[in-house]
Amino acid sequence: MSQDALIETRGLTAHYGDAQALFGIDFRLKAGEVVAIIGANGAGKSTFLKALTGLVKASRDAVRWCGRPVGSLSPAMIVRLGLAMVPEGRRLFPSLTVEENLRMGAFARRSGPWDLKRLFQLFPILEQKRRAPATALSGGQQQMVAIGRALLANPTVLLCDELSLGLAPIVIKEIYDAVPQLTREGMSLVIVEQDVGVAQRVSQRVVCFQEGRVSLEGASDALTREQISRAYFGV
Amino acid sequence: MLDTLIQGLLLGGLYALFALGLSLMFGVMRLTNTAQGDFIVLAAFAVIATVPLLAVSSWVAAVLLLPVAFGFGYALQRGVLNGTLGRDPLPSLVVTFGLSIVIQNALLEVFSADPRSLDSGGFNTRSVPLGGGLAIGALPLAIFGVALAATALLQALFDRTPLGRAFRAVSDDREIAELMGLDARHVYALATAIAFVVIGVGGALQAMRTTVAPSDGPLLLLFAFEAVIIGGMGSFWGTFAGALVLGLAQQIGFRLDPGWGIWFGHLVFLAVLVLRPHGLFPRTRG
């Protein structure tokens, strides 16, 4: 396995009970990179992110963090290494306020540039609504809370699972406009995205999943629509 | 009648101590501890055994055993109960039921079936005059005060501290809480540890107030369960209120006929289940 990769998987498999969801995924993420993962529903994209975070069990050597095998670690231990995730569907804590949800992101107490003050500069609406129940916010605002919660973990790698799901285009733009600022500060991102256009626009590299396997990989600005369509649908 | 109402509220204070631990464990990890009553009895007998062992008063023995209760609850959760948690509630019900049987039989073996009690140092014979010829027993008043303080502390813990935030987060969504860096197994164990401190307090005070026997556990579980259900899930103050309602119902029943006390409590419990199944003061969760 290469030493300069932040995250690397080699032959990663994953199962839900007897059903296999990932069939030998090879993947590398370098420092400062933004990689978009695309694919149809059920292709294994979210399962891949869960395997990186330990929510889905992987074999010990299948996932490496800066060369160290982490496949068998618990999510709590992997997060403390510098990984954070914005899960699909936001999944805020309904009994916590906006501020309490955000503070949960800082539970691992990693030092870094992100704190509440800075987050409120990025998403000012959250400061206005800090004492409101998190689930009382609009979809776009909840997504900001989910992103903010992950940022407060001061991660080295941020995993984002379908940030644009259920959001209006203008809200999607506002959220993705924050990505360049994150990468300028050295954060690496893995973005699972259904919208192929958005995925190509915000990333340097695109990886396409199809039925639990990588069907296409390449530079975002080099892949054609036809190539992506073939890899997406397996035709 | 005023005397009946006051006695009912004071009795409810004791029931709150029985119920708070149950409410805490269910609130954090959706675990119904069917051995709750037996653990209360176990705590009572632990204090009873410690008094002559260390040659200390019942109050000192009770305080000394609180850290032991904390450690016991933590170890029980980490070693046994964490393994029963999941979508299916049956394993935890079966395991805690098994614990109930083990505790009752162990106590029978060690202490026999004879009821025992704790010497409260004369506290149970003292009274506080209210005027107008009325007086309240000092021990029941103290128990009520302890229950009130325990409820306030638990609610403040949940609402205002990082640990309380962690409890609410793992209860809402364990998977995402772990993604924040929480070790859910440790958080669950802390919740049970705190529950067992309350159980320890309840057991010691029960044994000062009346006699305890190894077979008392199921009845105490029933009172705890009824208090939680009457009050409604999601709030310690709701549990406290439910316990007061139960205590009042029982005392009113006792007043009407000495054999009707517990039965009246069951009637009120049934009425709440039928008319307000979420309890009188539920705190809705998203």
Find the mean pLDDT for residues B137-159: 95
- Determine the Cα–Cα distance for residues B223 and B243; give it in Å rounded to an integer: 8
Give A-chain residues touching B169 at CB under 8 angstroms.
Answer: 93, 96, 104
> Average pLDDT for residues B146-173, to the nearest whole number?
95
pLDDT-derived band at A57 (thresholds 50, 70, 90) equals: confident
Chain B partners of A149 at a C-beta cutoff of 8 Å?
180
pLDDT recorded at residue B286: 35
Instruction: Indicate whether A185 pLDDT > 90.
Output: no
Residue indicated by tokens 């396409």: A208
pLDDT tier, A165 (very low <50, low <70, confident <90, very high otherwise)? confident
**Is pLDDT at B217 greater than 70 in this prediction?**
yes
Nearest CB partner across the interface for A103, out of B165, B172, B184: B165
**CATH fold for domain A5-233:** Rossmann fold (3.40.50)
Quick check: B182 and A107 CB within 8 A? yes
> Phi, psi (5° rounding) for residue B195?
-60, -40
A75 touches B at CB < 8 Å: yes
| pTM assigned to the model | 0.90
Percent of chain B whose predicted confidence (pLDDT) is above 90 = 80
Contact B178 A55 (CB under 8 A): yes
Please state, in angstroms and rounded to a whole number, the distance separating the CA atoms of residues A154 and A46: 22
What was the pLDDT predicted at A174? 80
Separation of alpha carbons A131 and A166, rounded Å: 24
Q: What is the pLDDT of residues A88-110, one digit of tens each?
A: 988 999 999 999 999 999 988 88
Strand, helix or coil for residue A207: strand
Interface residue of B180, B186, B236 to substitute, partner A, most A CBs within 10 Å: B180
For residue A35, the SS3 value is strand
Q: What is the pLDDT of residue A2?
A: 53
Q: Residue B177 contacts by C-beta under 8 Å, 6 or more apart in sequence?
A: A93, A104, B166, B169, B170, B184, B187
**% of chain A at pLDDT higher than 90:** 54
Handedness of CA B278, B280, B285, B286 (dihedral sign): positive
Domain definitions of chain A by residue range: 5-233
pLDDT at B195 over 50: yes
Among A91, A108, A153, the residue with its CB nearest the CB of B176 is A91
Asked if the C-beta of A94 comes within 8 angstroms of chain B's C-beta atoms, the answer is yes
User: In chain B, whose CA is at the least distance from the CA of A54?
Assistant: B179
pLDDT at A114 over 80: yes
Test B179 with A75 for CB contact under 8 angstroms. yes
Across the range A115-121, mean pLDDT stands at: 92
Tell me whether residues B179 and A103 touch, CB distance under 8 A: no
pLDDT of residue B46: 97
**Mean pLDDT in residue range B245-265:** 91
Q: Which residues of A touch B183 (CB under 8 A)?
A: 74, 76
Q: Is A155 exposed, middle or buried (0-12, 13-18, 19+ CB in 10 A)?
A: buried
Q: Which residues of A touch B182 (CB under 8 A)?
A: 76, 107
Domain boundaries, given as residue ranges, for chain B: 2-117+133-275
Interface size A-B, in CB pairs within 8 Å, comes to: 66
Residues of A in Cβ contact (< 8 Å) with B184: 76
Tens-digit pLDDT profile for residues B33-84: 999 999 999 999 999 999 999 999 999 999 999 999 999 999 999 999 999 9
For residue B285, pLDDT over 80 is answered with no
CA A159 – CA A71 distance, rounded (Å): 16
Mean of pLDDT over chain B: 92
CATH class of B2-117+133-275: mainly alpha
Residue A235 has pLDDT above 80, yes or no: no
| Model pLDDT, residue B122 | 85
What is the three-class DSSP state of B219? helix
Q: Touching check for A107 and chain B: CB below 8 Å? A: yes
Give the confidence band of B212 by pLDDT, cuts at 50, 70, 90.
very high
